[in-house]
Amino acid sequence: MAKTREIYICSTCGNQSLVWQGQCPACKEWNTLAAEIVSKKSPSESKPGGKNAPVALEEVGGELMQGRPTGFEELDRVLGKGLTPGAAVLLGGEPGIGKSTLLLQLAGSVATRGGRAVYASGEESLPQLKGRAERLGLLGPGLLAMATANNDDLLSLFTSGQPPELLIVDSVQTMASSRVDGIPGSVSQVRAVSTELIEQAKKSATTLFLVGHVTKEGSIAGPKLMEHMVDTVLYLEGDRRHLYRILRVLKNRFGPSDELLVLEMLEKGLSIVSDPSTFFLGERDASLSGTAVVMAMDGQRPFAVEVQALVGRSTLSFPRRTALGFDVNRLHLLLAVLEKHLRINLATSDVYCKIGGGLKLAEPGLDLGIVAAVLSSLYDRPLPEGAVFWGEIDLNGMVRPVSAHDIRRKQAKRLGYGPMFFSRQGKGLHGSGTIGGFQKALFGQEGGQGEG
């Protein structure tokens, strides 16, 4: 029998260590090393004897496999080629965000198009799956389901009969392989289950979807190696209290890796928002102060978002600075630039800023809109009706151009926005090189004392 030994594996990066340490030597995270029992092969078992040999790529036969349509045109665009045979896709997201609903709808769409889809769940029973599919109106002869936590049951789908076109595993942390020690969800089990399923899926041209849990920091749980093993990594994000969801592509070997898809949670499941250009604006009143429209870019798609700001007198020793939807450090930086270059006193003012609709963005083009909203609230004067902003502000008070300027401008024109405010380097209609000139263009003044 093979000897066994105990090693310690980092749950964040998958690094292995022979002794336990409080901090992982690879990723420097604390308290992430967990003990795992592995088998140690004898020298006779580890002798090289592989039959595989390298071949010239130009001599490789066969044609490239074409992707199968999912039934959702926008989802095909995000995935690149639809459901590519043999592809492995990892989908992550917070609990209750809609991962299972989205994948069940995908399986139902494949089944209605004559394909064979199998939804394997280690978290729900078959009656629960049927009830959810019936509520979504997806019941049909081509939609198959399994309730199991044994990975061998899933592997048997590839060896007995016709392999499915689509296999969904919800979730990989609930599956266990009999060939590896450890409880389901451990680093060794997740790695073994993923390896076995991906290997069989590529041999049988089955499109594999793996659902992954997330940690409290928001990253996909399990070894980081799992994200390198799959072809595509998707992340479903949003607030469970809001109706919208965003499906973001973090990695894609078959298409662009910076795409996103906007979804809306309805009674019959998730519905794709085909044109999210103004989806996050809602019903806004342009006559109110403290609001600005920004033409933002997330992935390769431009859409208009509303930035809201509230500046008021503070009664605290240290005034509040609150930002929702973007990094609060960006707000601190922009306020410091305003105080330095516009001679505005904000030391006794509370400043609250948010992006409307609950959207979260990390985009430098937001800077100009945030500044416009803050100045509008500070002077209690509304911005010009139809005005739209984009541009990055550096520490010297200069407005710098941002990427995809032409795309933003074309989209703003299509939506009927004007005037447009952006960097002068972008050769814009109402561009300005400094925030001083930008303030003068908005309010007719170079600088001044704000309230407080």
Enumerate the known binding-site residues. 93-100
Binding residues for ATP: 93-100
Residues β-bridged to residue 313: 349
Angstrom distances, CA of residue 354 to CA of 71, 168, 283, 328: 36, 37, 16, 10
**By C-alpha distance, which of 238, 236, 235 is closest to 252?**
235
Distances (CA, A) of 245 to 31, 49, 97, 228, 276: 32, 50, 8, 25, 12
Q: Which of 402, 421, 265, 292 is nearest to 355 (CA)?
A: 292
Instruction: Report DSSP letters for 289-318, one per residue.
Output: SSEEEEEEEETTEEEEEEEEEEEEE--SSS
- Partners of 269 in the beta sheet? 266
Q: Are 273 and 312 in contact (CB under 8 A)?
A: no
CA distances from 13 to 226, 231, 299, 333 (A): 10, 18, 26, 32
**Closest of 433, 417, 349 to residue 384, by C-alpha:** 417
Strand pairing partners for 62? none
Show the tokens assigned to 333: 């930086």
Task: Give the contacts of 186 (CB within 8 A, at least 6 positions apart).
Answer: 34, 36
Distance CA 257, CA 251 (A): 5
Alpha-carbon distance of 105 to 115, in angstroms, equals 14
At 159, phi and psi to the nearest 5? -105, -20
HSE-up (13 A, CA, CB side) for residue 60: 8
